[in-house]
Amino acid sequence: MTVSVNRRLILAATVWIVLALVATGGVLTALFRAHLARGFDADLRVHQEEILTLIVPGDGGTPRLAHQPADSRFNKPFSGWYWEVHAGGRRVAGSRSLWDEELPPPPPGAAGAYAAAGPRGQALRALSQRFTVADLAGPVTVTLAGPAAAVGDPVAGFARVLVAALAVLGAGLVAAVVAQVRYGLRPLRQVRAALARVRGGHEQRLSGAFPAEITGLVDELNGLLDHNDRLLDRARARAADLAHALKTPLAALVNDAEALDDPRGADIVRHADMIRAAVDRELSRARVTGPVLGRQADVAAVAASLRRVLVRSRAGEDLDIALEGLDGLAFAGDGEDLAQMLGNLMENACRWAAGRVRVGGRAAEGGWLELAVDDDGPGIPAAARAEVLARGRRLDESTPGSGLGLAIVGDLAEVYGGTLDLGESDLGGLRARLRLPAASPERAE
C-alpha cells in the first residue's frame, strides 16, 4: 500500500519546531543583551552626572574638576573605564586610567551610547554629551566609556546556557523530524535519481516504484520524453527523405541545363544551385541534436581535435592555429553540434587566413560562453556581413565551397538560443564570435 506524499510532507513540516527554538533563543538573547545594555548605559550616566557636579571654573575660566571621582576604576591605568572633559574644542581633564591616551571622538550624529576603540585597541561602549555649566563661559562635553565586555561576556554566558537548554529540548524533536523528512522525501529523491540516469544517457525513460502522487508525474515525464523522441526522429526522417527526393532530380536538371546550348541553361543551373544550397542548409539544421538534458561538451577538447584535423589539411598545413583561453569552458549541448559550429568557423578562417588563426574563449555573465575565431585574412566588409549570415552567400566565387558555412553556424547557434556575430579581428581579418550556453566543466562529456 502506497503512503500519501502529502502525509509525509505534513510530518516533515515539524522541522519548523527547530526554527521556532532557534528564534526563541535569539529573541531571549537579544532581550537579555538589551537589558544589560540599558543597565550599563545607566551606570555611565550616573558617572557622567557625578563628573558634571565636580566641574568648577579654573584659572582663566578653564574648567577643571574639584577632585577625582570616587570610583577607583577610573584611576587604574587602562582599566577599560575612562572619562574625559572637553571645552573650547580641546581636552581639559581626563581620567588617570587613560594615562597619556585620549578617547576617540563620537561618530557624527551619535545620540546615545556608541561603540569605540580605546587605548591598546580595547572595545569600549561610550556615552558623550554636551552640558552647560553655571559660571562657565561655554559648554563642556563629558565623555564616559566602559569595557564592552561588561555587556558581551554576560550575554555570551547566558547564550551558552540557553543553547544547552534548547539543545536538550530540541534534540529528540530534531531526530524525529530528520527521520520523517528522509522518509517523506524518499520518492522525490528516487525521481531525481531517475532523471539523472536519463540525463546521463544511461536510460531512456524514468523507471522505479513510486507513490501514487508521484506515479502520475513520472508517467507524464516519460510521455514527454517519448513524444520528443518521436518528433525528433520524424523530423530527421522527413528532412532526409526530402533531401534524397530532391537531390537526384536536381542533379539531373543541372546536367540537362548544362547540355543546353542556350543562355537560359545557365539561369537554370544557378537556380538549381540555390535550391540545392537551401536543401543542404535545412538538412544540416535537421541533424542538430539541440539542447538535451545532461549533454555537455569540453570546448578545449573539441577545439583541439578540430585543430589536429586542420593542420593536416591543405587549408591549414601552413598556418599557425592557436588555441587560447579554452581550458575549463564547457558547452551545454551535444559535442557533435559544437564540432560542427566551431569546425565551420575554423575551416572558414583557415581558408582565408594569410598565416594565423586564433581560437579563443571566455565565460560570460548569465551562464553563457563566448568563442571567437580570428584570422589575418582579407575579412568581410561590414556592409556584406549580414548578407553572408542570412543567405550563405560567398563573396569570392573563385574559392571552393557552397558559402553556407557561416549561415549554418548561425542557424545552429540559434537552435541553442545563442548568436553568431561577425566583426573585425585584431589580427587584421575576420572575427567570428559565437555565443552559446555554458555548462559546468566538471560535468562535461
- Residue 277's pLDDT band (cuts 50, 70, 90): low
End-to-end CA distance of the chain: 41
**How far is residue 99's CA from residue 327's CA, in Å, rounded to a whole number?**
61
* Between 148 and 209, the higher pLDDT residue: 148
Q: What is the pLDDT of residue 395?
A: 45
* Between 151 and 253, the higher pLDDT residue: 151
* Residues 6 or more apart whose Cβ sits within 8 Å of residue 90: none
Q: What are residue 323's DSSP bridge partners? A: 359
- Residue 23's pLDDT band (cuts 50, 70, 90): very high
H or E segment to which residue 132 belongs: none
Q: What is the pLDDT of residue 403?
A: 47
* pLDDT at position 397 over 50: no
Q: For 132, list phi and psi in degrees, rounded to 5.
A: -110, 125
- Residue 444's pLDDT band (cuts 50, 70, 90): very low
Q: Could you report the per-residue pLDDT of 74-124, keeping only the tens digit for each?
A: 888 888 899 888 887 788 888 888 888 888 888 887 778 888 888 888 899
**How far is residue 422's CA from residue 433's CA, in Å, rounded to a whole number?**
6
Q: How many CB atoms neighbour CB 199 within 10 A?
A: 15
Helices then strands, each counted (H, E), the chain? 10, 14
Within 369-418, where are the H helices? 382-391, 405-415
Q: What is the pLDDT of residue 394?
A: 47
CB 204 within 8 A of CB 194: no
Share of the chain above pLDDT 90, in %: 16
Q: What is the pLDDT of residue 161?
A: 92
Mean residue pLDDT across the chain:
80
* pLDDT at position 324 over 50: yes
Lowest-pLDDT range of 65-79, 154-168, 294-308, 391-405: 391-405
How far, in Å, are 11, 57, 66, 136 from residue 60 at the CA level?
80, 8, 15, 10
For 24-154, CATH gives 3.30.450
> Across 2-6, 107-111, 260-264, 317-321, which has the greatest mean pLDDT?
317-321
Give the pLDDT mean for 254-272: 73
Which residue in this structure is represented by grid cell 547564550? Answer: 159
Q: Could you report the per-residue pLDDT of 330-378, keeping only the tens digit for each?
A: 888 778 888 888 988 999 899 889 889 999 999 998 889 999 999 999 9
Q: Could you report the per-residue pLDDT of 403-442, keeping only the tens digit for each?
A: 457 878 888 888 888 999 898 999 989 999 999 988 754 4
Q: What is the pLDDT of residue 236?
A: 63
Residue in 303, 243, 284 with CA at minimum distance from that of residue 402: 284
**How far is residue 308's CA from residue 346's CA, in Å, rounded to a whole number?**
12
Class of residue 197 by CB neighbours under 10 A (exposed 0-12, middle 13-18, buried 19+): middle
CATH superfamily of 292-443: Histidine kinase-like ATPase, C-terminal domain (3.30.565.10)
* pLDDT at position 381 over 80: yes
- Residue 445's pLDDT band (cuts 50, 70, 90): very low
Q: Could you report the per-residue pLDDT of 155-197, keeping only the tens digit for each?
A: 899 999 999 998 888 888 778 777 776 777 788 878 878 877 6
Q: What is the pLDDT of residue 401?
A: 41
* pLDDT at position 284 over 70: no
- Residue 390's pLDDT band (cuts 50, 70, 90): low
**Rg of the chain in Å (alpha carbons):** 40
Q: What is the pLDDT of residue 12?
A: 66
**How far is residue 174's CA from residue 166's CA, in Å, rounded to a whole number?**
11
Q: How wide is the angle at C-alpha 61 spanned by C-alphas 59 and 67, nearest 5°?
A: 65
- Residue 201's pLDDT band (cuts 50, 70, 90): very low
> Across 23-27, 71-75, 99-103, which has the greatest mean pLDDT?
23-27
* pLDDT at position 11 over 80: no
